[in-house]
Amino acid sequence: MSANLLWSDVPTVTVDGDSTDKATAKTTQAQIGRYLDDRGHAKMREAAELAAGLSNVYLRAVWDTSLRPRPWSDVIQANAVVPEWRWGMLAAATVWRELEPLDDGGGVWRLLEYHTPGMIEYGVYKGDHATLGMLMEFTDHHETEFLASRTDDKGRQATGIDRLLITHLPNVLPNRVWDGVPDTAPLGRSDFTGIEPMMDALDESWTSWMRDLRLGKAKVVVPQSMLETDGAGSGATFDLDKEVVVALGGLIGAETMKDSLTEIQFKIRVDEHEATTKALRRQILASAGYSAQSYGEEGSVAVTATEVAARKEESLTTRGLKVLYQRPALLEHLTTLMWVDVTHCGAKGVDPAAELTASWPQAVQPDPEATARSLSLLEAAGAISTFMKVKMREPSWDDTEVLAEVRRIRDDKTAVPAGDPFSTGGEAPNKEQPDDGVEPGYDEGQEEDPDEKSAGAASRPELAA
């Protein structure tokens, strides 16, 4: 849930225009978009999920031009890194992993990478499950043979970049459990911290519910006389699928054999268990910082985006808190990828020194109809400009995009229509036409009615004369 809230969509990463020239900013931002393609997006979501459960995670910039033309992100779990802190910042880190066991059947092989700014020192060790063991040669194991040609006589490889290739990504801080333990302050806090007893209680409740289901299976008790035997020493059975059972004549109580079958079925306490598990589940989610609505506890249909946000308030608050830790780690890691890309992959038009900013999309998208009504009311009141109307419609746009849309809107309003739809010869369509000597309503093709002419002459003596 944490990873879905944070990385359901890719955040918008932009290059600060004041930190580099306009053309370089455009190409740099395009390259950053390639780092956050589907593979990069999936890796960041994976990192967020691991950090939520394990309290923190590490991102490593790796490259191999024979596999991909640009560097990519590698996610390392927290228990595979031994960090070194300086003023709360990661100053060095040792990454370790177990190698494939060899056929000789003895020992555990491990590869250690000691990362410092500009340098990686490798070491292959053979020990057991409890000890690191002895330092071996790279050629002693087939998984590390390639390091023999890439390192110096001390097992070191220069990265050519004056920064760590590893970035620390905590979940949230501080860690209340490790308070006072040296070198643990920068480590994050898991979403499970403090709710383990309630999760144990939930497990116990579910176990009791499942036990009731097992005990609630119907059982039938039959008298021994109804069992069928296959002979002495072979035991007796009763066929539950047998539809007709014949009572033996002459036996006492044979006429009441139908009453000798006893059914046993314990009550399954469904309501009690459901109420208990639901209460524990809601308390666990609230303690972890999530709303029950996020997990479908209160239904999944809401009328408006405002109602959705209200129901998911706890989850959205937790999301906003985690963004505070995700953003700096993401920008630091992207900067490292750019340095690797320029140094080792030959990227052109990329400025690793450019300053970056990142903004996460809204978790709950606003209702377009509600936004339109709000804009209409504000416009009727004369309380909003065209710039702010566009900004409210598209909150993710920057000022340049908003200004461009404002210009398009104004151009549409002031554009002169092509042609002359009223056939006025370029004059106003309602302009009065010159008098052509014909009275309004007179049809030139119609002869004058004689009766009307006589009536008119009688009423006007001068016409009669």
Shared-domain flag, residues 176 and 93 = yes
DSSP string, 391-449: HHH-TT--HHHHHHHHHHHHHHHHPPPSS-TT--TTS-TTPPPPP-S--TT--TTSPPP
Shared-domain flag, residues 58 and 181 = yes
Domain holding 165, by residue range, is 2-190+312-359
The answer to whether the beta carbons of residues 162 and 352 sit under 8 Å apart is no
The tokens describing 290, both together, are 């999530």
Shared-domain flag, residues 9 and 80 = yes
Query: Which range in 123-137, 302-316, 394-408 is most confidently predicted, on average pLDDT?
Result: 123-137
> How far from 299 is each of 280, 285, 296, 302, CA to CA, in Å?
18, 16, 5, 8
Question: How far, in Å, CA of 111 to CA of 94, rounded?
Answer: 10
Question: How far, in Å, CA of 322 to CA of 5, rounded?
Answer: 10
Model pLDDT, residue 242: 74
> Mean pLDDT, to the nearest integer, of 402-408?
91
> Mean pLDDT, to the nearest integer, of 288-295?
81
Shared-domain flag, residues 341 and 381 = no
Shared-domain flag, residues 186 and 281 = no
pLDDT of residue 461 exceeding 50: no
305 falls within a domain:
no
77 falls within a domain:
yes
143 falls within a domain:
yes
Shared-domain flag, residues 70 and 177 = yes
Question: How far, in Å, CA of 335 to CA of 352, rounded?
Answer: 6
Shared-domain flag, residues 182 and 320 = yes
Q: How many domains does the chain have?
A: 3
Shared-domain flag, residues 12 and 56 = yes
Shared-domain flag, residues 78 and 123 = yes
pLDDT of residue 294 exceeding 70: yes
> How far from 57 is each of 43, 47, 108, 190, CA to CA, in Å?
12, 6, 25, 11
Shared-domain flag, residues 47 and 134 = yes
Of 128, 156, 153, 123, nearest to 141 (Cα)? 123
CA-based angle 459:461:464, to the nearest 5?
A: 100
This prediction's pTM:
0.72
pLDDT of residue 446 exceeding 90: no
H helix or E strand, kind and range, residue 168: strand 166-170
Higher pLDDT, 30 or 266: 30
Model pLDDT, residue 443: 47
Model pLDDT, residue 106: 72
Q: What rounded mean pLDDT belongs to the chain?
A: 83
Model pLDDT, residue 257: 55
pLDDT cut 90: percent of the chain above it = 50
420 falls within a domain:
no
Shared-domain flag, residues 19 and 60 = yes
Shared-domain flag, residues 197 and 180 = no
pLDDT of residue 250 exceeding 80: no
